[in-house]
Amino acid sequence: MSKTDPVIIVIEDDPAIRRFLRTSLHSNGYKVFDAETGRQGLVELGVRKPDLLILDLGLPDMDGVDVIKAVRAWSALPIIILSARSGEQQKIDALDAGADDYLTKPFGFGELQARIRVALRHAVRPSDSAQEQVFTTGNLQVDLINRVVKVDDREVHLTPIQYRLLTVLVKHAGKVLTHQQILREVWGPNYQEHAHYPRIYMSQLRQKLEADPAQPKLLLTESGLGYRLKVW
């Protein structure tokens, strides 16, 4: 293990899961530190300055959503929720508070690894002011300077709203965006009651960007939560 290995903090009160994650992540090249309470975890975050946080919501001393809010007050590091809470609103609350992704227990370690890789790639992507001119994932290319969208090297015409929605997905590529987050970023704060807008315009985008809109490979639905632009 080298000094450049990504550092992950695990905040989880179940000792068996904590031990499993520590061992499995370590064997896959990550430097891991863990805590069993929210307050201990916040101390570890301040001391270790990690690259990513894996967080359980059901902690003994404080709610995981409050941990997310505390972290977001000073840090933009990726946060992946690993929780037994499977309710739709609970997931939305965590994502709206600032979590980047959500996995429900029981979980597959392979899927967790994939989510970690995506989150770390997203974290090192340049900010908007320095973002690469051309974003590419799969067969999709988005020229953010010239506002040109191509699929399989063929230019695709998008309406202004469709393009704005796509650029928001590109900005958060690999991350789950809730319907409310999409409404705020695409249409603004006065459209929070128009919950059907993201579904309608996502359907339109799929018609133009997906080979099979009924079985999308790029513009993925996260059931009950929102949408994700898949990155390779």
The secondary structure of residue 127, as a DSSP letter, is: P
Identify the pLDDT of residue 121: 79
Residue 1 has pLDDT above 50, yes or no: no
What local confidence, expressed as pLDDT, does residue 132 receive? Answer: 58
- Output the average pLDDT for the chain: 88
Is 2 within the bounds of a domain? no
Instruction: Decide if pLDDT at 118 tops 90.
Output: no
Tell me, yes or no, whether 82 and 134 share the same domain: no
pLDDT one-digit tens code per residue, 81-114: 999 887 888 888 999 888 989 998 888 999 999 9
Q: Do residue 67 and residue 19 come from a single domain?
A: yes
**pLDDT tens-digit readout, 38-81:** 999 999 988 888 999 999 999 999 999 999 999 988 888 899 99
Of 124, 153, 177, the one marking the end of a domain is 124
Checking if the pLDDT of 120 tops 90, the result is no
In the chain, how long is the greatest CA-to-CA distance?
A: 54
Question: Is residue 131 scored above 80 in pLDDT?
Answer: no
* Same domain, residue pair 132 and 216: yes
Whether 182 and 109 share a structural domain: no
Distance between CA 176 and CA 115 in Å, rounded?
Answer: 11
* Residues 57 and 105: beta-carbon distance below 8 Å: no
161 assigned to some structural domain: yes
CATH number of the domain within which 82 lies: 3.40.50.2300
Are 120 and 132 in a shared domain? Answer: no
User: Is the pLDDT score of 127 beyond 50?
Assistant: no
* Percentage above 90 pLDDT, the chain: 55
> Looking at the predicted structure, is the pLDDT value of residue 128 above 80?
no
Q: Same domain, yes or no, for 133 and 120?
A: no
CB 34, CB 22: distance < 8 Å: yes
Q: In this structure, are residues 10 and 33 in contact, taking their beta carbons and an 8 Å threshold?
A: yes
Domain that holds residue 147: 128-229
**Helix (H, G, I), strand (E, B), or coil: what is residue 204?**
helix
Are 132 and 164 contained in the same domain? yes
- Total domains present in the chain: 2
Of residues 74, 44, 79, the one with CA closest to residue 64: 79
